[in-house]
């Protein structure tokens, strides 16, 4: 291996004048500092390697050593509540070694190898096990039980097992003998390549909603567990704020948050806020069921490209335990920019706006790893991917947004005008959409109300009609409209301000259960139906406005506690009383 030395260096891209000792996607150690790299190209004369650490000070002639294994992450107890960089190096441990800035080289273990975990075995000697079988449980945090699994490639009979007790992640605690008589020592930790999806028994239809407590999402543009969603929006439109709300309130068991190429101060704010958030499900810190992957814009660009694969592999690992996992990628635009930079250094032919021609396939490879599945141990789990997109100047026609739209089924388009008007969430109901509505129809009908989807369809129709009418109003004014169309505009305002707009800082409005969402929608549409009777009678709509019932319905989201839905009956009676008095 003496001829495996660096020939050329171009930023994070290193070339070696040898092709015999390396294989594609093999993890290598580069230079005297043993930087982490990955083989990304092999031709007749040279091997091309992308380095996941800073290459400052690296020189031609320094050695490159292969590991004969792909770039992988370590999976085991200790992942939850940790903070990693893009290649699963724990930032807290790095800080102890090199201070506030990440040093190069070093061989830092992803998980604490000295900590002893209390292990309870769920199998015994003589049991037949296959890949995915849960052989032990470990209380990883107060909120999450870690279910250690047999690696997917191993099956056989348990021939040796230690008693329940405390063990480190690398201690052999179980021996499995396969049908050929080979013994496999099993530990709490295992490795898995980040670019390879973990195996499953079968995919399941996405028919259960990921409930977020945000009305514009749950009612108008829902996402299913195991679904994919994009949150495109320009600077300041609330992408990170929306993902924070989803992370805090969605009914996923585990949250994986990947800060991919974001500004350092914004990532610091995320880390600080997540540390302070209280999990509404358990009353403990939200970090008890959260994994943070922080890869800021000043970190090596190649690690940014790897960060979302690291995140999705961790998500699949907890999915295989039978958990519902929500992964937030903030933002995939910065990840695509990393692809573009590496592609440029490789002198590849650029496609639209300089992005590589394989951008669509890389996006599809990422998003297709979402899904609701039956795992190898016959449990059900899911990975939902919510990716933020940061188009420059809020231009949704740029390549990353357009290609993301091809591979996601929910499009929560953030609107700059709504954001500047302090309308939260700033999701535009006219440009956003969800393709899961039909799939979730049966769930809403069975678990919320039989007429939920019917009322939702009517509510969306009123919003679309208002959008068409406002084009006319801009041209000729509202006075020429007939009373029925003026009523549509009035009710649509109640829907926009009273239903779609939400207050993230109000205890009764930051999270709203589906039952309350349904009753709010029912009250607004009941007012619309009764107001149509006023229009039919020839009476002026000004009587309804003067009664103050519009404003009362707008404020009902604050006035009715989430746990007292029966109070909506009083609103229905008051609406009837007002309309009867007018008629």
Residue 409 CA to residue 161 CA, distance in Å, equals 46
- The average pLDDT across 318-339 equals 94
SS3 content of the chain, % helix, strand, coil (to 5): 35, 25, 40
CB-hemisphere CA count at 13 Å for 531?
A: 25
Residue 86 CA to residue 295 CA, distance in Å, equals 5
Residue 537 CA to residue 164 CA, distance in Å, equals 78
What is the per-residue pLDDT for 243? 86
What is the per-residue pLDDT for 2? 47
Full strand arrangement of the beta sheet holding 6-10: 6-10, 13-16, 47-51, 35-42, 26-30, 64-70
Give all strands (DSSP E) within 281-358, no chain letters.
290-295, 324-330
Residue 574 CA to residue 583 CA, distance in Å, equals 14
Whether 263 has a pLDDT exceeding 50, the answer reads: yes
- The average pLDDT across 543-560 equals 92
Question: Whose CA is closest to 496, among 472, 464, 473?
Answer: 464
Structure tokens at 509: 């409005």
Give all strands (DSSP E) within 126-170, no chain letters.
128-129, 134-139, 145-149, 156-161, 165-167
- Going from N- to C-terminal start, the domains of the chain cover 6-70, 112-188, 202-435, 452-582
Q: Are 469 and 489 in contact (CB under 8 A)?
A: yes
Q: Which residues are registered as beta bridge partners of 66? A: 28
Compute the mean pLDDT over every residue in the chain, rounded to the nearest whole number.
91
The third-level CATH classification (topology) of the domain covering 202-435 is: Rossmann fold (3.40.50)
3-state SS string over 477-492?
Answer: CCCCCCHHHHHHHHHH
- The average pLDDT across 36-41 equals 93
Residue 214 CA to residue 206 CA, distance in Å, equals 20
Q: Are 274 and 257 in contact (CB under 8 A)?
A: yes
Q: Which range, of 14-18, 102-106, 345-349, 517-521, averages the lowest pLDDT?
A: 102-106
Whether 1 has a pLDDT exceeding 50, the answer reads: no
Residue 115 CA to residue 113 CA, distance in Å, equals 6
Residue 398 CA to residue 334 CA, distance in Å, equals 13
pLDDT tens digits for range 97-139 = 777 667 676 678 889 999 999 999 999 999 999 999 999 999 9
pLDDT tens digits for range 278-308 = 777 777 878 889 999 988 777 788 888 899 9
Length of the chain: 583
Please state which CATH number belongs to domain 112-188: 2.40.50.100
Instruction: Classify residue 182 by its DSSP letter.
Output: -
Burial of 131 (0-12, 13-18, 19+ CB in 10 A): middle
CB atoms within 10 A of CB 57: 10
Whether 545 has a pLDDT exceeding 70, the answer reads: yes
Residue 222 CA to residue 460 CA, distance in Å, equals 13
Residues 6+ apart with CB under 8 A from 115: 78, 168, 169
Q: Which helix (H) or strand (E) holds 471?
A: helix 452-476
What is the per-residue pLDDT for 139? 95
Please state which CATH number belongs to domain 452-582: 1.10.1140.10
What is the per-residue pLDDT for 507? 85
Q: Which range, of 20-24, 104-108, 364-368, 526-530, averages the lowest pLDDT?
A: 104-108
Domain at 6-70, CATH from 3.30.930.10, 3.30.413.10, 3.40.50.300, 2.40.30.20: 2.40.30.20
Whether 543 has a pLDDT exceeding 50, the answer reads: yes
């Amino acid at each position: 291996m003496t001829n495996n030395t660096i020939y050329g260096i171009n930023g994070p891209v290193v070339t070696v004048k040898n092709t015999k000792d390396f294989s594609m996607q093999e993890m290598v150690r580069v230079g005297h500092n043993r930087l982490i790299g990955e083989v990304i190209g092999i031709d007749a004369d040279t091997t091309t390697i992308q380095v996941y650490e800073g290459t400052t000070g690296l020189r031609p002639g320094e050695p490159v050593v292969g590991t004969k294994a792909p770039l992988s992450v370590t999976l085991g107890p200790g992942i939850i509540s940790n903070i990693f960089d893009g290649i699963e190096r724990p930032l807290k441990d790095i800080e102890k070694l090199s201070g506030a800035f990440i040093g190069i080289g070093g061989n830092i273990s992803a998980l604490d190898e000295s900590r002893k975990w209390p292990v309870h075995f769920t199998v015994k000697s003589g049991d037949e096990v296959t890949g995915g079988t849960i052989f032990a449980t470990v209380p990883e945090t107060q909120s999450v039980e870690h279910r250690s699994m047999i690696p997917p490639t191993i099956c056989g009979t348990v021939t040796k097992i230690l008693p329940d007790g405390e063990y480190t992640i690398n201690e052999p605690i179980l021996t499995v003998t396969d049908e050929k008589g080979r013994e496999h020592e099993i530990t709490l930790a295992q490795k898995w390549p980040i670019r390879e999806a973990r195996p499953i028994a079968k995919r399941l239809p996405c028919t259960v909603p990921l409930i977020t407590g945000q009305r514009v999402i749950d009612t108008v543009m829902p996402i299913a567990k195991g679904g994919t969603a994009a949150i495109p929006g320009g600077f300041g439109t609330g992408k990170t704020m929306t993902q924070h709300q989803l992370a805090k309130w969605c009914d996923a068991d585990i949250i994986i948050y990947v800060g991919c190429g974001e500004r350092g101060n914004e990532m610091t704010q995320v880390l600080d806020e997540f540390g302070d958030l209280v999990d509404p499900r358990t009353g403990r810190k939200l970090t008890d069921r959260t994994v943070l992957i922080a890869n800021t814009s000043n970190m090596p660009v190649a690690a940014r490209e790897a960060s979302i694969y690291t995140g999705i592999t961790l998500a699949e690992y907890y999915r295989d335990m039978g958990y519902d996992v929500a992964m937030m990628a903030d933002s995939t635009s910065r990840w695509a920019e990393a692809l573009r930079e590496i592609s440029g250094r490789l002198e590849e032919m650029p496609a639209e706006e300089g992005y590589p021609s394989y951008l669509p396939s890389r996006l599809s490879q990422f998003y297709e790893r979402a899904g609701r599945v039956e795992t190898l141990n016959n449990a059900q789990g899911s990975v939902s991917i919510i990716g933020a997109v940061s188009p420059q100047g809020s231009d949704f026609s740029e390549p990353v947004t357009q290609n993301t739209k091809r591979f996601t089924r929910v499009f929560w388009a953030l609107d700059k005008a709504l954001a500047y008007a302090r309308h939260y969430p700033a999701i535009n109901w006219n440009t956003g959409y969800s393709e899961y509505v039909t799939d979730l129809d049966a769930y809403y009908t069975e678990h919320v109300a039989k007429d939920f989807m019917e009322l939702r369809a009517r509510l969306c129709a009123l919003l679309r009609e208002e959008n068409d009418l406002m084009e006319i109003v801009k041209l000729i004014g509202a006075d020429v409209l007939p009373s029925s169309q003026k009523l549509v505009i009035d009710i649509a305002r109640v829907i926009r301000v009273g239903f779609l707009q939400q207050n993230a800082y109000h205890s009764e409005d930051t999270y709203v259960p589906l039952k309350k969402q349904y009753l709010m929608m029912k009250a607004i549409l009941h007012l619309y139906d009764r107001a149509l009777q006023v229009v039919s009678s020839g009476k002026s709509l000004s009587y309804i406005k003067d009664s103050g019932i519009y404003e009362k319905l707008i404020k009902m989201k604050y006035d009715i506690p989430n746990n007292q839905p029966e109070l909506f009956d009083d609103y229905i009676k008051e609406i009837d009383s007002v309309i009867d008095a007018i008629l």
